[in-house]
Amino acid sequence: MTEYRIRQHPILPIPERDEIEFSWQGQKLSALKGETIASALFAHGIHVFGHHPRDHSPQGLFCANGQCSQCMVIANGKPLKACMELVEADMQVAPMEGLPDLPKIDRVPEMNKIRELEVPVLIIGGGPSGLSAAIELGKRDVKVLLVDDKHRLGGKLVLQTHRFFGSTNAVYAGTRGIDIATRLEADLRQYPSVEIWTQSTCLAVFSDQRVGILKDGEEYVLVKPQVLLVASGAREKFLAFKGNTLPGVFGAGAFQTLVNRDLVRPAEKLFIVGGGNVGLIAGYHALQAGIGVVGLAEALPECGGYKVHKDKLTRMGVPIYTSHTILSANGDGKVESVTIARVDANFKPIPGTEQS
């Protein structure tokens, strides 16, 4: 049987976690308490979470960050994003096939009274920016509400196992991203003027300056801040190419989430498009997790990321195709191969240079 969980890692400790049972299409499966539905499914090698209503194309995980909706499933009767919801004991999970039926109702449901709250400062996002801002305000005893839609603070830091560059004084150079997140959170928690809501998504900022927040995924609260600080972070740009929605095509953040945060192995082999720092580091993260990196394509004549990261990959035998781009991801229901081609000085693929 293939092992999809990462049980050994050169950097990350593997925590002991309680097992629970849930069901996927009626079949009982095990999961680890505190993991997302998506990671629980990946731990069993399940990558197709449903089919698109228009063209019936298979849908799976893409961003693992709550932004694309490609990972929708039906969990206990509700359509939910599998990458954001934690799996629960005895949860009944089913694929999202086309458009789900709306639940039948015989009367208009009553609206609960909406709680309203006034705060001097509201920070949306608990990544390094939001945490650093909240720490500075906490030091000055300013009342702050910080909200983040994830279960853990740190934003992209919690996906990074490598040591950061830069200044030791200003940006924790030499410290691994995961450890910077732990330090910033511990620092912040000393300040009583800062209230933290995790698992709480900011849904809207209204013209009357109120901000709608879904607290703990359950209670809708309207917050009126004097100052709103938006620190909701970075998103990956995506390339248009044939087959880019096939299950098995991930944004780098999703890949890092699966291997470094959730300790599941989404593939045996990886091909990377983009030789900036994120692409190069994702390759290094794959090798740490025991995943083979079969190549990296970069459209520029040189990789844009730090040489030290590129050298690590080259030393590990990863072929780097500079002046190349991806033409297609190929496969029946999941990625089985990719086709790349050399590009000219205007980044146009050169006919006759394709290889799969």
Which residues form the interface with ligand FAD (CB under 6 A)? 124-130, 147-150, 155-156, 160, 177, 201-202, 231-234, 236, 252-253, 256, 278, 281
Choice between 147 and 196, CB closer to ligand FAD: 147
d(CA 312, CA 57): 37
d(CA 139, CA 190): 9
CA proximity to 97, closest of 75, 68, 74? 74
What are phi and psi for residue 179, nearest 5 degrees?
-75, -30
What are phi and psi for residue 56, nearest 5 degrees?
60, 20
Could you say which of ligand FES, ligand FAD, none residue 129 binds, taking C-beta under 5 to 8 angstroms by partner kind?
A: ligand FAD
The strand pairing partners of 115, in sequence order, are: 221
Could you say which of ligand FAD, ligand FES, none residue 124 binds, taking C-beta under 5 to 8 angstroms by partner kind?
A: ligand FAD
Choice between 69 and 356, CB closer to ligand FES: 69
Could you say which of ligand FES, ligand FAD, none residue 69 binds, taking C-beta under 5 to 8 angstroms by partner kind?
A: ligand FES
Q: What angle do CA 187, 193, 197 make, to 5 degrees?
A: 75
Could you say which of ligand FAD, ligand FES, none residue 262 binds, taking C-beta under 5 to 8 angstroms by partner kind?
A: none
Choice between 71 and 326, CB closer to ligand FES: 71
Choice between 60 and 130, CB closer to ligand FAD: 130
Q: Shortest approach of ligand FES to residue 236 CB, angstroms?
A: 11
Q: Shortest approach of ligand FAD to residue 133 CB, angstroms?
A: 9
Choice between 63 and 158, CB closer to ligand FES: 63
Strand 144-147 vs strand 194-197: parallel, antiparallel, or unpaired? parallel
User: Which residues sit at the interface with ligand FES, rule CB under 6 A?
Assistant: 61-64, 66-71, 81, 83
What are phi and psi for residue 272, nearest 5 degrees?
-115, 135
Could you say which of ligand FES, ligand FAD, none residue 43 binds, taking C-beta under 5 to 8 angstroms by partner kind?
A: none
CA proximity to 135, closest of 181, 204, 79? 181
The strand pairing partners of 19, in sequence order, are: 32
